[in-house]
Amino acid sequence: MMASVSTRANAMPRRTILLGFDVSQWLAMLALAVVIVLCVFPFWWTISSSFKTAQEILVGTPKLFPRSLNMVNYDYILSFPGINYIGMFVNSIYVTSFTVILYCILCVTSGYGFARVDFRGRDAIFLGLVLLLFVPQAGGLIALYEMMDKLGLRNNLNGLVLYFASQITVGAFIMRQAFLNLPRELEDAARIDGAHTFQVLWHIAIPMVTSAVLVITILEFVNVWGEFLVTYTMIDNQQRMTAAVGYAMVAASVVTPQLSIAHLANLSIYGTSDASAVILLLPAVLIYIGLQKWFVQGMLEGILKF
């Protein structure tokens, strides 16, 4: 163990340094390591269980690792007649990608409008938008159901896209903040050269706020991919169900006895529900991990200053 002794006049207390960190830092790292393990464990358990056969799952002592990467559960759910796993996954991709695209367009344009264009009522409208977040949602979902039914958008994936993309408050807020933080000189220079508002927006403003756009993209993708309540309420038709809801509904039901016993012997309901869970969570987690560098950078760049 190395001890470092302070030689400064205002003698700081002696600290024990081990491998470059002192005691309190080691404790902090330990605590954080525990938190990391707790966060990752359920997630790891699900992935590992999805590769287990029934015999491995239905034992007295659960094991952390599967015996091998057994694809039995995946084969079962993907080829199960009557439940369209791939179809539901495609529905999820459809809803999520169109929603994210529409949402980004709406938030970027309205954010820029609120930040840089001077028009009557601008601040009042923006304030209204923010305050409406606090207004009581008296049966909002119920009224929404009624309205979308009348508009024919209810049992409909496009209706979902429109609804999810319409919640612009947070996104517009973030984009407006990002645009406000841009230096005006570039835009002014462009205007002097004769550019009109849309050209300035497209060629100058947007390229400078890409990290903010990425932040709202990730937030919206993750929210819509896993969205459960509204989808479950609005959609009855199984063909149009998204994965987030459909997989949960399937997992909740009992394994059908239509299969041969031998086949059944290799599966357990936990294994199959874990397999569907893995398929469902992979896109969200991969997108988050892939883009998290920009996500964190965007946050730290003070987009969300208080």
Partner 1 sequence: MSVGKSSVDQARAQGGVATLREFGRQVQAVRKQRWGDPTGYLLIGPAVILYVVFNVYPVFRGLEMAFMDMQYLKPASANFFTSFNGLGNYEVMFQDPEFLHALKISVEFSLLYLPPAIILALLVAVLIGAMGQNSVAIVSRVVMYIPVVIPISVTMLMFKSLYDPRLGYLNYALTRLPFISRGPDWLSDTKWALVALAIATIWTRFGYFGLLFLIGVYQINGELYEAAAMDGASNFRKFWHITIPALRPIFVLILVLTGGILSATQEPLILTNGGPGDATTTLGLYIWNTAFQIGNLRVGYAASMSLLLGVVQILFAFIVFRFLGLKSDV
To partner 1, the closest distance from the beta carbon of 134 in angstroms equals 6
Backbone phi, psi, residue 53, to 5°: -85, 170
**C-alpha separations of 89 from 23, 233, 241 in Å:** 49, 18, 9
Is 195 a binding residue for partner 1 by CB under 8 A? The answer is: no
* Listed ranges 43-51, 65-73, 184-192, 204-212: which one lies at the site for partner 1 (CB under 8 A): 43-51
Backbone phi, psi, residue 304, to 5°: -105, 55
Closest to partner 1 by CB, 72 or 277: 277
Contact 65, 297 (CB under 8 A): no
To partner 1, the closest distance from the beta carbon of 240 in angstroms equals 17
Which 64-103 positions form the footprint of partner 1 (CB under 8 A)?
none
Residue found by looking up tokens 């509904």 in the block: 249
Which 132-191 positions form the footprint of partner 1 (CB under 8 A)?
132, 134-147, 162-163, 165-169, 172
* Listed ranges 79-87, 116-124, 185-193, 257-265: which one lies at the site for partner 1 (CB under 8 A): 116-124
Q: Which of 14, 263, 296, 297 binds partner 1 (CB under 8 A)?
A: 296
Closest to partner 1 by CB, 260 or 288: 288
Question: How many whole angstroms separate alpha carbon 49 and alpha carbon 91?
Answer: 26
Which 257-286 positions form the footprint of partner 1 (CB under 8 A)?
270, 273-274, 277, 280-281, 284-285
Which 201-260 positions form the footprint of partner 1 (CB under 8 A)?
201, 222, 225-229, 232-233, 244-245, 247-248, 251
Give the residue from 93, 71, 265 showing the smallest Cα distance to 85.
Answer: 93
**C-alpha separations of 170 from 111, 175, 209, 251, 296 in Å:** 10, 9, 16, 33, 17
